[in-house]
Structure 1
């Protein structure tokens, strides 16, 4: 269904812009989180600053102003409702089976950045089919996923038996199932109420989300250093709008799109995560626990085989090797 919608949207967008001229109006950047989210300082503001001297203005529409629904972000930009959007590949995992490899536990080599991983594969042409009708402007990974729990301390895989754990996409869902819990997929904006009301027992996501979505108000136990993978993000631009940019504006955008903007985004996510972990550790009313190497190994025995199985299912061995710089 998602792929059919995208094909139709790509065709319609191409027809509607075929006779157009270069736009003088600002580009519309849509997303669904509040302006105070990490996205603004790490990604949007550097992008705006980089293109400002070329005369290219980027106007931001936060909080779903151009359409509610985080899952519809990609279709929204292809249809031309927005010119640029931010989103999570995991929300529509079936559209991004090869990109999702980067999220799997054990996929990101020690000492390597997530954005290099993704751009290695994209620049090799291995992810082209997953971004129809758009030009990727930034691709990156979050900080490592952690357990964010309400009234449950996680030290061993057995501690997760029978619990309902929110995940953002298929990679985390596979890991949760391997650990004996039930994955519940929902957008980040729904986590707070779901955790507060007991619809879910916990969350797997990056620590930055604790601060960005105020999860510290409803969670009270956090476990770090578990092999739970990462979350992948994108900023993409409508391809027809990109192609129609005046040369000076396109050159300014080209100078920051790709790895430079992705590096800024990823480093912003990691810095925010470090800040949040320090904050929740100092409040005195939380349990913040870092698994020992021995404790981590017990989780690795269950989650690392998931990486190999999923890579095999999507025929992604070559893509993973390219991502890892092999």
Structure 2
């Protein structure tokens, strides 16, 4: 005859274990972004890393990641977070510049010069002002991330402003769009996950976007000439990991610490990988037999002259505190 005491003890232990497992993930957070999942996109990997690290901390939080705009459309991530439909996102901040025009400064032609400069920008009065706008909107920054970007064209190489005349250019944001228009291009406004089809169908002739997006969206299949970042990058974009402050405030101290610790690790990972994205960009486009060029300092300065008369001037005139933001950014050496 089986020992009833032993059976009861085993059953009780099993019940306790089951209860513990249920309590181990009693809060589920939804993390959404537009970038491809499972294909090596570093922005997706940042979010996946945060989810893994928080799970390992065993503090009762499960982060479910929805990549590829599978839960929320690319341009709607910010509003979805504000409304509480999602909790976390990896987000090109300029996409929310319609609601907060100050965010346009985080995709401003020539404002950030290289990866080392971007790191210094993170700790500057300029970014303190940007993060105040983010916080006031009910959002917190979990991890900083800056990506360099490039120009790509189906028609001709783009090195100087004259090369853009007559082209239909998909621009990542309003400030770059102003510069392109100032150089004589017409503007196509679509998110980065729709650029491939726009180039394929002739809706767009050229695009600017991040090094990571050029590769992860396989744009080497559509363009014939790439202007890589090189030593004189004009294109840098702030794409942080963000979290709804309302969602964050619901967590206990251990859960908050786990998320912040995981986010710090993800930020350090990204900082190490961001320059590699430029190298991977060049390697991928070389493999696809796409012509690759880089700007000289003189050519980059010609674009800055166009931006100074268009993007910078409009931003300073129309955005509350816009002139001060540009001045503060330019003061970071």
CA RMSD of aligned residues (A): 2.7
Residue 34 of structure 1 is matched in structure 2 by 36
Residue 162 of structure 1 is matched in structure 2 by 166
Q: Is the 8 A contact 2:108 2:175 kept in 1?
A: yes
Unmatched tracts of structure 1, length 5 or more: 1-22
SS at match of 1:33: coil
Residue 8 of structure 2 is matched in structure 1 by none
Q: Is the 8 A contact 1:167 1:203 kept in 2?
A: yes
Instruction: Say if 1:65 and 1:199 are closer, same or farther in 2 by CA, change over 3 A.
Output: closer
Residue 78 of structure 2 is matched in structure 1 by 74
Residue 251 of structure 2 is matched in structure 1 by 245
Instruction: Say if 1:325 and 1:153 are closer, same or farther in 2 by CA, change over 3 A.
Output: closer
Residue 187 of structure 2 is matched in structure 1 by 183
CA distance in 1 between partners of 2:84 and 2:255 (Å): 19
Alpha-carbon distance, 1:141 to partner: 1.9
Alpha-carbon distance, 1:63 to partner: 2.5
Q: Is the 8 A contact 1:106 1:307 kept in 2?
A: no
Residue 4 of structure 1 is matched in structure 2 by none
Can you list the C-alpha shifts for 1:203-237, whole angstroms capped at 9, x where unaligned?
Answer: 01122222110111111111235653322213221
Can you list the C-alpha shifts for 1:226-274, whole angstroms capped at 9, x where unaligned?
Answer: 65332221322121221111211112223354x6644433543432231
Alpha-carbon distance, 1:86 to partner: 2.0
Q: Could you say which structure has the larger radius of gyration?
A: 2
Q: Is the 8 A contact 1:106 1:304 kept in 2?
A: no
In the alignment, structure 1 residue 272 sits paired with structure 2 residue 277: yes
Residue 135 of structure 1 is matched in structure 2 by 140
Number of residue pairs matched by the alignment = 300
Can you list the C-alpha shifts for 1:115-163, whole angstroms capped at 9, x where unaligned?
Answer: 54245347735542344122221232211x3211112222332121111
Residue 194 of structure 1 is matched in structure 2 by 198
Alpha-carbon distance, 1:64 to partner: 2.8
Equivalent residue in structure 2 for 1:255, among 261, 265, 268: 261
Q: Is the 8 A contact 2:124 2:332 kept in 1?
A: yes
CA distance in 2 between partners of 1:179 and 1:288 (Å): 21
In the alignment, structure 1 residue 147 sits paired with structure 2 residue 151: yes
Instruction: Say if 1:26 and 1:188 are closer, same or farther in 2 by CA, change over 3 A.
Output: same
Q: Give TM-score, length-normalised by structure 1.
A: 0.81
Instruction: Say if 1:211 and 1:229 are closer, same or farther in 2 by CA, change over 3 A.
Output: closer
Q: Is the 8 A contact 2:47 2:241 kept in 1?
A: no
Residue 208 of structure 1 is matched in structure 2 by 212
> Which range moved further: 147-156 or 111-120?
111-120
CA distance in 2 between partners of 1:264 and 1:129 (Å): 26
Q: Is the 8 A contact 2:179 2:310 kept in 1?
A: yes
CA distance in 2 between partners of 1:181 and 1:61 (Å): 35
The one of the two structures with greater contact order (alpha-carbon pairs below 8 A, sep at least 6) is 1
Residue 8 of structure 1 is matched in structure 2 by none
Residue 67 of structure 2 is matched in structure 1 by 62
